Amino acid sequence: MAPIRIHAVAYISANNHPVLIRSFIDNGNALKYHYIAHTALDVIEERVNEAKHPYLGLLYSIDDVAVYAYMTPLNLKIVLALALADAVVPDIKVHTIFKAFHMAYYHAVSNPFLDLDPANPVPLNSPKWKFFTRQLDEICAVVGAGV
Amino acid sequence: MFVAGLDAPSPQSPIDAAPTRLPDPFTLLTARLREALLSQRKVSIWQPDKNKSFQVLLVDKDIRFPPRKIGPQDDSQHAVPHSPLSPLTPSSPLYPDGLIAPIWIRKHTTLVPSVFVLFLRLFEFPLHNLRSPLDAPDPDREKDREQEERKRDGELASYVASRKKSTNERNMKLTVVLMASRRMLDDPALDARLTFIRKQSGLDARAALFVLSPVSSSELGDFVQSLQQALYEPAVEYYTSHSKRVRRKRNRHTQAVSSYSNPLSPVGHPGTIRPLRPEGWTVRYEYKMACFAEFRGEDEVALKHYQDAYEVLAVMFGSMSILPPRTKRWAEAKVLADCINIKITKLYLYNNEHSLALSHHTTHIRKFGDLSRGWGIGEETFEYWSWVARQYRILAELLEQGTHSTLSLPSHRPVAYNTALYTSTAQNPSSSRGSTPALETDALRSLGLNPSYALQHPGFYYYMAARCTEMRRERFLIALDAEGVSNSPGFANEKKVDHLVIILELYTKSYELFKKYTPSSQGQSQARLTLWIAYRIGQTYFDSGKFDMAIRFFERIAKTYRRENWDPMLRPLLTTWYACVQQLGDVELSVRLLIEMLGHGVDESEEPETLQDDLLAVLKSTVPSSPDEPFIIDLSGSQPIFDSNVVFWTHEVKVGQPVAFQVSITAPSDVAICELPFMSLSIRFSDDTLPLVLLQHSGAEIDEPSKVTHINLGHISKTGTDVPPTLKTNLRWKQDSTLVLSGTFSSEVPTTLKIEELLLTLTEGTWNIQIPMDPCSYRHKILPTSKWLASLKPLKFINVKRENSSSMIVRHRSHNVLLSLTHHSPACIDEVYPISIEVTNADNRELEVTMDILLQPTEVDDAVNSITLDDEQSSGLIKGISFGVLMPGVSSIKTLNLFNTGGAGDRMIDISIQSRVSSRDDPKEDLSKSDMEDVSEILQTLTVPTVKALKVTYDVAYRRHLDERLGLADLRRFEEDFWDDGEAGEALVTLRLECAGPWALELQKVTLERQNNDGAKVLETSTDMFDEADFSSEYVPGDEFSGLCRISLQGGEQYIPGPGTYLVQWCRIHDDGTRGSTSTSVFPLPSLRLPTDGLVGLLQISPVARLHQALPLTLRICNNHPTRSATCTVHVEPDPSDGFVIAGLRSGRVPILLPGTEEKILWNLIPIECGYIKLPKIKVVDHRKLIINVQGIGESEVEGQAVKIVDVRLDRRRESVIAESNETEQEGGKNTRPPDPENDSEEIWGTVLVLP
């Protein structure tokens, strides 16, 4: 099966503020993923009412990406933009990716030296996230390699 | 279906306009028929339902169908005639190599019907009025009529026959509907006439001739229905035969493909006329078959043929030689491919195969996108994007049409998704889903889906179309700049297109659909998707120069983005918005936006001064609309310009105590604001009584290049006198520089202090802009640790790691009230235990002190405790005990008495002392607000261990009655005060009191309060023998006091409640020798239990005898058994070693003893030795058959059983009772041990002391 290419991942806090939006494709068009993450919230809100599982599945596909979402028990939302390819994307695989991203975040915020306001976590570009973003890049690389 | 003969009545016709009162029933019928037929089936794009209805076209009666086949006139040897639309016909638009033309479809949808229905009037001879019913029918007239009818019917038939000929040519079904009046239907001649007409005209036998009379519209509807029902099959047949014909041709064609190289092209003209290639013919035939199948309503067949056509077409496109690009045929084929694609998509969707439909569509776009690249109209051309946009738009329109009727969009949420599915699908895919019918699809869904084939609502495709159109415009503009290929017709065409209008239209449609499909979650419908589309619309408006429209969109969008902190998205929005506002010349809004944009900073690509320069330029070049009023820009909800923070040194202070604070205002690092003319900064506190602090700008240059400027504000208090009148500082911030304001303030009332607002004033020319700021706000929402500026040189900050470091609480000083408790623990049960409470005012204020005392419920069973203070007594709470107003240094003592009963254990008392400042000096001052009242409270919990002062033990012994029992019939038995103690005897109760507690006690009095009852009465007690004075003795722990009482029992009841209570008066002896208060403990006598025995012998003898003097020995044999009588024998077994000589019965039989009787036997003993002499052996045997189950042997009868003989001198059956303090009588009963039968059975006889 063709490897899944991740275009971007977005972490959105429980009160819908962006936490971190990281785009892995290298044309600096992160703004587009801001829009995608933001609009994804619409569908997430709709799905969350019914779903009991954290994995919310495909939200929509637009332009060249398919947007998936995942919601942690603490209502942190993770939005994933995958490259749109002509292949079936197995839910189990996406779910695994989400779990990896969730764990990365979990480990990052578990850092006792990271002083966080839980209602309003430190947003992106903070140097505090350096390790975290590196981990995200690693996950992306691993997924992209088709493992 | 063609319908002829239903022409609308032409109003111009003078005949119709003739003044007839009633409208002709046939005119009405015709009109209704037209209506009914036309409403049968509307042609629409989305028609998945298959009912047997026809598309009806009204035509003229004498319509001519388009020529079927025309033979080439000039070339008669080519006998094969072709359709005028065939590529083989030179006059055809397709000649020589076209595939198929839209006109072909039109031919079959509008020009050639499958069924032709002809409505005709049946001739009816005009009705003549019969003069009377008796008139004989006029034979002449009848004859005339018949002739006329026959003539007219013949004409009709021949007309029909002519029509039939033309329809037969095309295998169409012709159906004639004859309209006749109702009277005609009843005419017996009708059948004959109809048969005649049908035969004459050569109509089919079935479903070819109907007769209709004017009926109501509902009946008409039924007629139309049945007409269609009847004609449906012929129509299907018609198209089937068409299909068959085409298939035959195709098959012939494919077989002959090798020889069909170029039959028509003359050898001399190669290349000029290239006939249609075999692939082309295949496409043509497949397409035709697909169309016919679709006409028949066979969607699957149609889909198959369309797919075949599409595939071959794709092959054709693949080869440059078959379809040379950019030719007319190529363009036609491309359109055909698009059409087939959308047909396939639609047919898939009819079948609810969403992903297949979308998959086909995406594949189509991709395939032709790839091909386009080869054709030189790749992604860099506007042609390509125009084409893609069109494809998406068609899809969107199709979906929109579909969703209006039957199409339902799939939901892509993971169905039945759970973790269990993961594991179970691997081993047993069917188990987890149970009986879901769509097992296959479900299994696929559980695996996941292909996002590119996930059908979404049409809004998405409109959006895609709009995006593609944007790309198209982009490419077009590039091409316009290049202007190299301006002569191409495509480019000229493109120039005429107003792209922005198309984009707007598409976005607007998309917006509406997104709005429609927005989850209608009640409460807050954020509709971020629509906002996004709205942003695109706004952007498009901006591009097309409609700035006012754009602004309206931006304003709405910015609200949500601000609220949810999506700043990266807000920045480009603000930039565009600002550009719009600039164009519109709204100065105030520009200023507002620019200041908001300052908060967001600039892109890395831009100079940090851009915004500042813009702002200054605007301010300098314009004047505000109202120069007198300050222009307030409220930045709440959006990013602040500065990082500002307030830090208090401590979290809590007392009233009147000064508290230090620091306000830091840090300029952003990524945007320059150093030129902005801030003129003043004011600080407002949450406490309104504190004055506003105002800082003016002074131009004084800061000499040091430090990043931090520090200003001391001094002490700020209500009076405000300490504040320097004009504080001046430099209010120009360099990038990343900080202004720290420090000061102290104090409050006279308890409150929560914080800084409410910082207000920056910016003045330039006539502009006076006020920017209120939240004193604790951070750009990018980063919450830094609060820092306290410790020193400027070197720069040093102290981290303040306290929560709420930016607010501070002012509290009253707590009162210095001392509480001390004095008592001698442990307390005793039944004792009034004094606890003295001393409250001392150690404060320097007068305090009013009140106390609440709560005695907590204890866990000890049956404990009833109470507290007493002053006059109040309670088993729970005593509230509001006032100590009055205590002057400083004064203390007050109150004694709380605790009284405990029940068991030992801890008793808990909560004491709460409230003190409030005595407001004597200013009683009018309103201190009603509870939080303002200066109250403090001391809480203390006191645990009092409670022990028993006295431990009580009872010993009970039972004695048999010594006196002779009264006979059963003795008259004295029936006297009122008869006390039958004969059976039960008496009990001896020994009381043992032990001083148990850690305290020495003084026993003052021990009395037995008699409570004689039916079962027992106290005969005498040892305590009666003492005077009160005799008790006054001290008992140290471990000392005991004993008392004895004798109780006579009366038989009958097994358990007898104790017939009295010991009252013990005692008081505690403190260590210093003083006596505590007198307490009384109550110890009830234990309940008594009657020992019972059946037959018993009681031996009575004096314990002392004189040598050689006769000593009487009495044996009483009592039958205490309630029912049995007894027959006993008595044996004296003298022994030579006996010290007595026995005179009396040696061996004998006792008379039968009835229950409750006794027999007395006397002996005289003469002692012959001195000393303690054993009694001679006496045996009593009860002669009663007793069955003893001897082990192993079986049952054996034993004659006689020894009766127990008790020496009454030693008759004690003991039991010991440990009485608990305050025990109830029942419990006393429980604790008693029953007399031990083991001890009882032993015969112990005493000896007799024989004295000389």
Residues B965-1014 have pLDDT tens digits of: 676 677 777 777 777 766 667 888 888 888 887 888 888 888 888 888 87
> What pLDDT sits at residue B1216?
60
Question: How many domains is chain A partitioned into structurally?
Answer: 1
What pLDDT is recorded for position B445?
53
Q: Which pair of structure tokens corresponds to residue B280?
A: 């082309």
Query: What is the DSSP code string of B725-787?
Result: S-EEE---PPTT-EEEEEEEE--SS-EEEEEEEEEEEEEETTEEEEEEE-SSB-GGG--PPEE
B467 touches chain A (CB under 8 A): yes
Q: Which residue in A34, A47, A61 is closest to B568 by CB distance? A: A34
Q: Does residue B65 contact residue B112 with C-beta atoms inside 8 Å?
A: yes
Which of B618-632, B701-715, B1068-1082, B1184-1198 is modeled with the greatest confidence?
A: B1068-1082
HEC-encoded secondary structure of B68-127: CCECCCCCCCCCCCECCCCCCCCCCCCCCCCCCCHHHHHHHHHHCCCEEEEEEECCCCCC
Reduce the DSSP state of residue B930 to 3 states and report it: coil
Q: Does A3 touch chain B (CB under 8 A)?
A: no
Q: What ipTM was reported for this prediction?
A: 0.86
Element (H, E) at B836: strand B832-841
For testing contact with chain B, the best of A5, A79, A91 (most B CBs within 10 A): A91
Task: Determine the Cα–Cα distance for residues B1090 and B727; give it in Å rounded to an integer.
Answer: 105
Lowest mean pLDDT among B78-92, B114-128, B224-238, B445-459: B78-92
DSSP structure class, residue B971: G
Closest CA to B315 of B255, B374, B371: B371
Identify whether the C-beta of residue B154 lies closer than 8 Å to the C-beta of residue B200.
yes
CA distance B172 to B1154: 133
When comparing pLDDT for B1198 and A52, which is higher? Answer: A52
pLDDT in tens, B682-712: 888 877 777 777 777 776 665 556 678 888 8
Closest chain A C-alpha to B602 CA, distance in angstroms? 14
Q: Which of B711, B710, B714, B776 is nearest to B745 (CA)?
A: B714
Minimal Cβ distance to B413: which of A57, A63, A88: A57
As given in the structure block, the two tokens for residue B299 are 């969607």
Residue from A33, A52, A88 to probe the interface with B (highest B Cβ count within 10 Å): A88
CB contact under 8 Å between B448 and A50, yes or no, is no
Q: What is the pLDDT of residues A12-57, one digit of tens each?
A: 888 787 777 888 876 656 778 888 888 888 888 878 777 677 888 8
CA angle B187, B189, B191 (to 5 degrees): 100
Give the residue-averaged pLDDT of B1058-1085: 84
Answer yes or no: is pLDDT of B1039 > 80: yes
The minimum CA-CA distance between B850 and chain A, rounded to whole Å, is 45
Q: Which of A17, A42, A66 sits opposite B529 (nearest CB)?
A: A42
Q: Does B568 touch chain A (CB under 8 A)?
A: yes
Residues of B in contact with A89 (CB under 8 A): 448-451
Owner of token pair 């009277």: B183
Residue A134, domain member (yes or no): yes
Does the CB of A115 have a partner CB in chain B at under 8 Å?
Answer: yes
The stretch B1232-1240 carries a mean pLDDT of 45
* pLDDT exceeds cutoff 70 at B152: yes
What are the C-alpha distances in Å from B707 to residues B244, B711, B739? 92, 13, 8
Alpha carbon distance B993, B1002 (integer Å): 12
- Three-class SS of residue B225? helix
User: Residue A126: pLDDT band by 50, 70, 90 thresholds?
Assistant: low
Per-position b or e across B1170-1204, b if 16+ CB within 10 A of its CB: eeebebbebbbbbeeeeeeeeeeeeeeeeebbebb
Q: What CATH code is carried by the domain that includes residue A81?
A: 3.30.450.70
Chain B closest-CA separation from residue A138 CA (Å): 24
Using CB atoms within 10 Å of the CB of residue B1224, give its burial: 0 to 12 exposed, 13 to 18 middle, 19+ buried.
exposed
pLDDT of residue B81: 63
Q: Which B-chain residues 1193-1212 have CB contacts (< 8 A) with chain A?
A: none
> B990: buried, middle or exposed (CB in 10 Å: 19+, 13-18, 0-12)?
middle
Contact flag B527-A85 (C-beta cutoff 8 Å): no
A123 touches chain B (CB under 8 A): yes
Residue type, B771: I
Out of A79-83, A98-102, B712-716, least confident range:
B712-716
Q: What is the pLDDT of residues B377-393, one digit of tens each?
A: 777 788 888 888 888 88
Q: How far apart are CA B456 and CA B698, in angstroms?
A: 63
Residue that is written with structure tokens 């020994």 in the block: B990
Contact B981, B1016 (CB under 8 A): no
* Torsion, Cα of B92, B96, B99, B104 (10° steps): 10
Chosen from A60, A80, A96 to mutate, greatest number of chain B CBs within 10 A:
A60
Please indicate if any CB of chain B lies within 8 Å of the CB of A1.
no
Contacts of residue B730, Cβ cutoff 8 Å, sequence gap at least 6: B697, B698, B699, B700, B701, B702, B709
Cβ-Cβ pairs closer than 8 A, A with B, add up to 128
B1072 and B1000 Cβ atoms separated by less than 8 Å = no
Closest by CA to B1152, choosing from B1127, B1129, B1116, is B1127
* For residue A6, pLDDT beyond 80: yes
Query: Which of 123-182 (B) contact A at CB < 8 A?
Result: none
The number of CA neighbours under 13 Å toward the Cβ of B759 is 18
- Pairing verdict, β B1088-1089 and B631-632: unpaired
Q: What is the DSSP string of B427-474?
A: H-TTTTTTT-S-HHHHHHHHHEE-GGG----HHHHHHHHHHHHHHHHH
Are the beta carbons of B61 and B6 closer than 8 angstroms?
A: no
Strand order in the sheet with B115-121: B57-59, B2-4, B115-121, B173-179, B209-212
Residues in chain B with CB shorter than 8 Å from the CB of A84 are 451-452
A66 occurs within a structural domain: yes
Q: Which H or E run includes B797?
A: strand B796-800
Interchain CB contact of A60 with B (< 8 Å): yes
**A93 inside 8 A of chain B by CB:** yes
For B581-633, give the DSSP string.
Answer: HHHHT-HHHHHHHHHHHHHH---TTS-TTHHHHHHHHHHHH---SSTTS-EE-
The predicted structure's pLDDT at residue B73? 47
Residue B692 near chain A (CB below 8 Å): no
Q: What is the pLDDT of residue B648?
A: 85
**From the CB of residue B1244, how many other CB atoms can be counted at a distance below 10 Å?**
9
- Comparing alpha-carbon positions, the chain A residue that sits nearest to B413 is A57
Q: What is the nearest CA distance from B753 to chain A, expressed in angstroms?
A: 23
Bridging pattern class, strands B1247-1251 and B1171-1174: antiparallel
Which tens digit of pLDDT belongs to each residue from B900-940?
887 788 888 899 988 888 665 444 444 444 445 677 888 88
Confidence band, pLDDT 50/70/90 cuts, at residue B439: very low
Residues B649-687 have pLDDT tens digits of 888 888 778 888 888 888 877 777 777 888 888 888 877
**Inter-chain CB proximity A21 and B572 less than 8 Å:** no
B57 vs B133, which has greater pLDDT? B57
Query: What Å distances lie between residue B54 and B14, B113, B225, CA to CA?
Result: 35, 10, 10
Tokens encoding B891: 């203390």
pLDDT > 70 fraction of chain B, expressed in percent and rounded: 80
Q: From edge to edge, which strands make up the β-sheet containing B659-666? A: B643-648, B659-666, B738-745, B708-716
Which tokens in the block code for residue B183?
A: 């009277």
**Amino acid B428: pLDDT:** 41
CB-nearest partner of A60 from B460, B568, B569:
B460
- Reported as a pLDDT band with limits 50, 70 and 90, residue B269 is very low
Percent of chain B whose predicted confidence (pLDDT) is above 90: 0
Alpha helices, DSSP H, located in B274-418: 278-296, 299-318, 328-350, 354-374, 382-404
Sheet holding B986-995, edge to edge: B1016-1021, B1040-1049, B986-995, B950-959, B1213-1217
Q: Hey, are the CB atoms on B413 and A31 less than 8 Å from each other?
A: no
Helix (H, G, I), strand (E, B) or coil at B189: helix
Residue with tokens 């719009």: B580
Give A97→chain B minimum CA distance, Å. 14
B557 vs B550: CA distance, rounded Å: 11
pLDDT tens digits, one per residue of B470-513:
888 888 888 887 765 556 667 777 777 788 888 888 888 888 88
Interface check A144 vs B, CB under 8 A? no
What's the average model confidence in pLDDT over B1155-1178? 86
A92 to B448: CB separation less than 8 angstroms, yes or no: yes
CA atoms within 13 A on the CB side of B833: 27
Measured between CB atoms, which of A21, A90, A123 is closest to B448? Answer: A90
Task: Check pLDDT > 70 for residue B460.
Answer: yes
B972: DSSP letter? G
- The sign of the torsion formed by the CA atoms of B440, B446, B451, B455 equals positive
Q: Looking at B54-68, B95-109, B373-387, B927-941, which range is the least confident one? A: B927-941
Question: Is there a contact between B782 and A115 if contact means CB atoms under 8 Å apart?
Answer: no
Assign B164 to helix, strand or coil.
helix
Specify the pLDDT at position B14: 35
Give the domain extent around A97.
Answer: 6-144
| Subunit contact B464:A63, Cβ cutoff 8 A | yes
Given a cut of 70, whether residue B129 has pLDDT beyond it is no
In the predicted structure, residue B1200 carries a pLDDT above the cut 60 = yes
* Average of per-residue pLDDT across B451-476: 85
Please provide the size of chain B in residues. Answer: 1252
Q: Is residue A136 part of a domain?
A: yes
**Mean pLDDT (whole number) for B834-846:** 86
Q: Closest partner residue to A126 among B535, B561, B782, by Cβ? A: B782
| CB of B781 closer than 8 Å to CB of B565 | yes
Q: How confident is the model at residue B1031 (pLDDT cuts 50, 70, 90)?
A: low
Q: Is B559 in the A-facing interface, judged by CB distances under 8 Å?
A: no
Q: What is the mean pLDDT of chain B?
A: 76
Task: Label residue B443 by pLDDT band (50, 70, 90).
Answer: low
Q: Which residues 10-39 of A have a C-beta within 8 angstroms of B?
A: 16-18, 21, 30-31, 34-35, 38-39
Residues whose CB is less than 8 angstroms from the CB of residue B1046 and which lie 6 or more positions away in sequence, other chains included: B986, B987, B988, B989, B1018, B1019, B1020, B1021
- Set of chain B residues whose Cβ sits within 8 Å of the Cβ of A34: 566, 568-569
Q: What are φ and ψ of residue B259, in 5° steps?
A: -85, 0
Residue-level pLDDT at B721 = 52
Half-sphere exposure of B717 (CA within 13 A, CB side): 13
Question: SS3 helix, strand, coil % of chain B, rounded to 5?
Answer: 30, 30, 40
How large is the angle between the packed helices B528-543 and B458-482, nearest 10 degrees? Answer: 20
Compute the distance between CA of residue B358 and CA of residue B36 in angstroms, rounded to an integer.
Answer: 38
Q: Does B269 touch chain A (CB under 8 A)?
A: no
B799 touches chain A (CB under 8 A): no
Segment holding B251, helix H or strand E: helix B217-255
What is the 3-state secondary structure of B1018-1060?
A: EEEEHHHHCCHHHHCEEECCCCEEEEEEEEEECCCCCEECCCE
- What are the structural domains, with CATH classification, of chain B? 2-65+112-126+136-242 (3.40.50), 357-410+455-517 (no CATH), 413-448 (no CATH), 534-628 (1.25.40.10), 643-811 (no CATH), 817-916+932-947 (2.60.40.10), 950-1051+1059-1089 (2.60.40), 1095-1211 (2.60.40.10)
Q: Which helix (H) or strand (E) holds B992?
A: strand B986-995
Q: Has residue B725 got a pLDDT over 60?
A: no
Of the two residues B197 and B1215, the one the predictor is more confident about is B197
